[in-house]
Structure 1
Amino acid sequence: MKSIAAVAISDGLDFNIPEIMAAGICTGAILLVLGATGLMQLVYKLIPLSVVRGIQLSQGLAFAMTAVKYIRKVQDFSKSKSKEHRHWVGLDGLILAIVCACFIIVINGAGEERNERETGNVDDEERNMRSKRIKKTMANIPSAFIVFLLGVVLAFIRKPAVVKDIKFGPSPMEIVQFTSHAWKQGFIKGTIPQLPLSILNSVIAVCKLSSDLFPGKEFSATSVSITVGLMNLVGCWFGAMPCCHGAGGLAGQYKFGGRSGGCVAILGAAKMALGLVLGTSLVQVQHWDLFVEWWCMCFSN
């Protein structure tokens, strides 16, 4: 949940783990109630499509501008600040970034196929069929994942000593202890600003976009709202970062070829495996090298 994360980064002293978790639990509870009572479905029907399209446009522009900023300047993600301009040459230089961006554009930048009119020319039909086969083959290439793996490999090449920081095994799980102050601050600073964003982008926009991408198979606002509520009501008690669905994530996965439930299941299984195998060692990534996180955030967006 971006708004809660933004407050945690900017106000880390007064908005720590208990406040973050309290904000996630409160947001999840409200979304669960809205979904279970059918009110979210009513909101989905009342909000005009133009509002949803505006949200999607703003999200797309925000992601694009953020990606450009991350490419141009070195980032301090722990403080959410930009530092000096990124150099051109090197394993985290601008030249390599441009090459990877061009690779993704070549693989995924052609857009969706449109039905073409019959020309009646056998040669044209053969060329069209050959072109479609090439495009289909290229679409099956996991370009974003390849770039991510490249970033991981190059990060280890730059600093081989980071291997010593890796400790295998899951992190111990503890139930977060809350105070009345944590609940109050979490609700005021986290839940209130996050709720409109979650309702519009995490539920309404996701349902609208799913109806565009998968006609006849769209999600109901009720089910989406309930799933967001449940995963936060369960996870936040154990320190899981508040999370939700998002139109940007759905659009990105669809664009990069993830168009079935299997890809989401594989992603979830991979994250669980990393958490169980590496545990807290994953947190050290930002201290090893900002290169990995830079690649992840630029190209996942």
Structure 2
Amino acid sequence: MALSTEPRDGRSLTVTSGELTGALGDSVTVLPVVVALGALTSASLPHVLLLFGAFQVVWGVVYGLPLSVEPMKALAGLAIAGTISYAELAAAGLLAGAALLVAGRTGALARLERYVGEPVVRGVQLAVALLLARAGFDLGVADPALALAAACLVTVVAVAGHRRAAALVVLGAGGVLALAATGVPTPTLPALRPFPAGLPRLSTGAVEGAAAQLAMTVGNAAVATSLLCSDLFDADVAADDLASSMGATCLVAVPLGGLPMCHGSGGLAGKYAFGARTGGANLVLGALYVGAALAVGLVAAFPMAVLGVLLLLVAVQLVLSARETGMPLLTLVVGVVGLLWNVGAAFVLGLAAWLVLTRGSY
């Protein structure tokens, strides 16, 4: 299946004030996760940001839509929580990328979706949210006064009617504190070389993480995003095309030091809500990410307590998504098992339970 590069359905590339604010809307959940990975793992943040910028531009041009390019949150959450190492994250990203590319090219995604129930996907989201919340709490208690101040700032911004912007405001405040501690960093471009943060390590945890991520990606980043493209932009974007582009992104980005990335429906909705209507938002955001890659020295000085509050905000967003389930008890069980045991086992057990409960209905 060839991925068309010709704009259709009225797709276009324009740069307006709406595209600028829409670009910021997509960064609400992306930047906290990326900053956390740079601070808590061996990920090379300059490479991560540079590749985020590059693929924002690539898929904005290819699709002519403000398509989201964001971290694969299940894998990112596991790495942030310390459940898997960065080397295992890289291996899982390559596994997930290969699976998505094969599924997309063979048109298999629509068939696979029937066998992965939404309650199980929501349970994986809940498990990742709980792991992120625990990691955020652990970071916050190290400096409770600063964490409380950041939480108060979130509350003030939310009460003022800007709930979605709260994460950006807190991220900016943390950046100001880091700037005060380090001064203005010297802009430097990272050297592009294979696996700058270390070679991938294939393990049971990497395989389980890839399986859990694929469960989320099929529903949230492929099928749901395809539907949103139709609903919001009247654009015909097949889920299998999205799977192909996500697979290609992972297989190119991870060896160059980037993160496993996907087209999240939440990021697309965020861009639209903030005014984006074309792929021009991706051009803007790509430039912003490249600029951030040049000033990445601030990350080392970013206050960990503020980062903990940001992780809690990301966790809350995932919990809100997890609530949209047809089987709340199954979703809850998968989430709790993922927290107390591991996400891979929770996914397998949840999938088995869902297949038994819905036997013959798919």
Structure-1-length-normalised TM-score: 0.63
Describe the shift of the 1:101–1:30 C-alpha distance in structure 2 as closer, same or farther (beyond 3 A). same
1:22 is matched with 91
Match of 2:269 in 1: 251
Distance in 2 between the 1:244 and 1:225 partners?
A: 9
Q: Give 5+ residue unaligned stretches, structure 2.
A: 1-71, 318-362
Match of 1:268 among 286, 289, 292: 286
Q: Deviations over 1:89-112 (max 9, x none)?
A: 985252x3222113335xxxxxxx
Q: Encode CA deviations 1:235-254: one digit per residue, 9 max, x unaligned.
A: 10122111211122222222
2:187 aligned to 165, 168, 178, which one? 168
Counterparts of 1:1-301 in structure 2 under 5 Å? 1-11=72-82, 15-43=84-112, 58=122, 77=136, 83=141, 92-94=150-152, 96-105=153-162, 150-151=169-170, 154-155=173-174, 158=177, 161-164=180-183, 166-176=185-195, 178=199, 182-185=201-204, 187-214=206-233, 216-275=234-293, 277-279=294-296, 281-284=297-300, 287-288=302-303, 290-291=305-306, 294=309, 298=313, 301=317
Q: 1:91 to 1:31 in 2, by over 3 A?
A: same
Deviates more, 1:192-201 or 1:151-160: 151-160
The answer to whether the 8 Å contact 1:168/1:278 transfers is yes
Q: Which whole-Å CA distance do the structure 2 matches of 1:256 and 1:35 have between them?
A: 30
Give the AA of the match of 1:248.
Answer: G
Structure 1 residue 47: Cα displacement: 8.0
Instruction: Sort the Cα spacing of 1:28 and 1:62 in 2 relative to 1 into closer, same or farther, 3 A.
Output: same
Aligned-residue identity in percent: 24
Q: Does the 8 Å contact 1:22/1:186 carry over to 2?
A: no
Do the aligned partners of residues 89 and 212 (structure 1) sit closer, same or farther apart at CA in structure 2, a change above 3 Å counting?
same
Distance 1:165 1:21, change over 3 A: farther
Query: Are residues 229 and 156 of structure 1, via their aligned partners in 2, closer, same or farther at CA, if it must alter by over 3 Å?
Result: closer
By how many angstroms is 1:278 displaced?
1.9
AA at the equivalent of 2:214: L
C-alpha contact 1:21 1:186 (8 A) present in aligned 2: no
**Cα RMSD over matched residues?**
4.0
Q: What amino acid is aligned across from residue 274 of structure 1 in structure 2?
A: A
Task: Measure, in 2, the Cα distance between the counterparts of 1:197 and 1:89.
Answer: 30
Instruction: Give yes or no for contact 1:17–1:239 (8 Å, CA) kept in 2.
Output: no
Instruction: Name the count of aligned residue pairs.
Output: 240
Distance 2:277 2:158 in 1: 22
> Unpaired segments of 5 or more residues in structure 1?
106-142
What letter matches 1:97 in structure 2?
V
Distance 1:213 1:27, change over 3 A: same
Tell me how far 1:158 sits from its aligned partner: 4.8
3-state SS in 1 of match to 2:150: coil
Q: Could you say if the C-alpha distance between residues 93 and 33 of structure 1 is closer, same or farther in structure 2, counting changes exceeding 3 Å?
A: closer
> Aligned partners of 1:43, 1:186: CA distance in 2, in Å?
23
In the TM superposition, what is the alpha-carbon distance from 1:43 to its structure 2 partner? 4.7
Q: Given that residues 9 and 80 in structure 1 are in contact (C-alpha distance below 8 angstroms), is that contact kept between their aligned partners in structure 2?
A: no
Larger radius of gyration between Structure 1 and Structure 2: 1
Deviation (angstroms), 1:257: 2.3
